[in-house]
Chains A and B, each alone.
Chain A
């Protein structure tokens, strides 16, 4: 009912949203979700990736520093321990050969760390070889370069380092000096490096996770490369960390890069997992959004269609009702006749109220007003059959009581599920007489000389019920200007109120002054029906003009 009111007021678009609008709205929402989802996914993935990279860099730096620190300590000590100690002993023993040989016996061996060692005495500017142990040195003792290395070592506060290269062989030459009372002694040793400068670290080594390249000096050139465990091309690329440690008179440059993720597989997988997972979730969400939005649009469309159907059905029902009622009232000389019909506001079902006026002969006519119980198409069908039958019986010239008796034969409450209250009257215009018969209907109202009262008539048994065989009858005499009004219960019935109250209200309103019969019916309907009559209201007014 609330919906009906809305529709009547034109506030609701009965067609609802159009299918096109629904589809584009669904697509728009889906695209919005898609874009938002992708943005969030991208940001999360990038943030995670950055975080991972930062962690990797930090771990690499940490590990590299540890390696460098360990290497620094180890290498320095090693060289100082062995070569420095041997030089100091030689200086103290004036280059005693036996002492020297004994000192270096553990460090100069075929297995290394040094494969050759020699003791030099520096008197004046030319170094003299005192003795040599182990393999033949790559640095020829008689060469000028050998003399230069020894002199350089003697002048240096720490050991000196040089790379000694020969075809297919590469050695690191190390020289440490010490001065004693008998002069300056220099111990020179060579440490072999692999020819391809590749080394392999054991799997449990702390550097096993890293690519490592060690250069002599400050420059990462292939010539300066001492050793590398990397299968990757050098110099190392990507995330690298470089540290320098002092090594004698020069430096070792250590460059590392991670072989795999230092922080574990999760760090590598996570950004991808986020990206792929986010992408899938976004697609799913977009799909769902599209479906839901389209579903909602569909539901709205359906609701719109239902509303439309409702309006149409209601309109069909009212059209049917209107078609069943007389389109035009007959012109009866000497009479003014007016009618009103108001469909009830409750839903789409049509009511069963009807009225009819049938001229019988010159100066006489029959009027019928009735109300079939219930609503709907079946009630309307019963009403139609009663109306047509009543009209036929009236035309046959039967008096009202007989018309009702005959109507009663055509309806059975048990069989048809409906009954009807009917009031029938035969009016003689010039005789000012009305014969009334009643079948359960409310009594008509007579306004005579400015005063309205209900006609006294028994109700009788409604049509469709087995009851008393005698019809309730009455006879009314009218004067010129008098008005007889018959009506259905919708006019006077109000929920929670005794019918007499409504009837009294009707008499009161009908007693007012009206300019015409039309004016009177309009006034009564307006006054009694309210804005929205729940039940149908039918009303017929007969006024004697003569």
Chain B
């Protein structure tokens, strides 16, 4: 939306699987304003089963902006616990500096 070409999205791959009852959403690529809506709808699908936990697997995430933070934080408002697994240093630091570590559990 921020780009002149609305069809141009940052590259991102979203994979969803389950560990028991807990949905695990794996993100690799870049998460920014251009593609958060698409990722959000897939997170919604993952949560449709009614789990109270959610895991984001971020080891393949190369970039995330504040829209990505909003996505993670919004998920944290909807379930009891959100776990961020293996975030790269850039993403981890961003989460720390924006105070997300207080509402998300980071596991490396």
Contacts and interface: CB of A to CB of B under 8 A. Distances in A.
Contacts of B96: 459
A498 B102 contact: no
Given A1-B4, A349-B2, A489 B66 contact: yes
A167 B78 CA distance: 130
Interface residues of B, number: 30
A465 B3 contact: no
Interface stretch (A89-97, A215-223, A319-327, A369-377): A369-377
B69 A373 contact: yes
Given A414-B77, A495-B30, A498-B93, 18 more contacts: A346-B3, A347-B2, A347-B4, A349-B2, A371-B66, A373-B69, A374-B67, A375-B33, A414-B74, A459-B99, A461-B99, A462-B100, A465-B76, A468-B103, A472-B99, A496-B62, A499-B90, A499-B94
Contacts of B62: 496
A462 B99 contact: yes
A442 B97 contact: yes
Contacts of A244: none
A465 B103 contact: yes
Contact of A413 (B3, B77, B93, B99): B77
B89 A498 contact: yes
Contacts of A495: 30, 63
A497 B99 contact: no
Nearest to B64: A495
Given A349-B1, A496-B62, A458 B77 contact: no
A462 B67 contact: no
Given A442-B97, A467-B99, A499-B94, A376 B1 contact: yes
A346 B4 CA distance: 8
A84 interface: no
A234 B33 CA distance: 96
Nearest to B69: A373
Given A375-B33, A499-B93, A310 B4 contact: yes
B103 A373 contact: no
Interface string B1-14: 11110000000000
Nearest to B95: A459
B99 A439 contact: yes
Decide if the interface of chain A is mainly helix, strand, loop or mixed: loop
A472 B99 CA distance: 9
Nearest to A2: B4
Contacts of B65: 493, 535
Interface string B55-93: 000000011011101100110111000000000011001
Contacts of A497: 90
Contacts of B108: none
Decide if the interface of chain B is mainly helix, strand, loop or mixed: helix
A457 B65 CA distance: 22
A376 to B, nearest CB: 7
B48 to A, nearest CB: 17
17 contacts: A344-B2, A349-B2, A373-B66, A414-B78, A418-B70, A419-B69, A439-B99, A459-B99, A464-B73, A466-B77, A468-B102, A493-B65, A496-B62, A498-B90, A498-B93, A499-B93, A535-B65
Contacts of A464: 73
Contacts of B2: 344, 346-347, 349, 375
Contact of A4 (B4, B76, B97, B101): B4
A349 B76 CA distance: 27
A541 interface: no
B98 interface: yes
A460 B78 CA distance: 20
A498 B96 CA distance: 12
Contact of B3 (A1, A310, A499): A1
Contacts of A443: 97
Contacts of B99: 421, 438-440, 458-462, 467, 472
B90 A413 contact: no
A465 B93 CA distance: 18
Contacts of A395: none
Contacts of B33: 374-375
A291 to B, nearest CB: 29
B102 A461 contact: yes
A465 B98 CA distance: 11
A431 interface: no
A461 B103 contact: yes
A464 B73 CA distance: 9
Interface in B1-56: 1-4, 30, 33
B77 A496 contact: no
Contacts of B70: 373-374, 413, 417-419
A465 B97 contact: no
A361 interface: no
B93 A500 contact: yes
B61 to A, nearest CB: 11
Contacts of A310: 4
Contacts of A440: 97-100
B90 A496 contact: yes
A443 B103 CA distance: 19
A2 B8 CA distance: 14
A204 B97 CA distance: 110
A329 interface: no
A459 to B, nearest CB: 4
Contact of B74 (A413, A458, A459, A500): A413
A188 to B, nearest CB: 109
A1 B3 CA distance: 7
A496 B63 contact: yes
Interface in A123-149: none
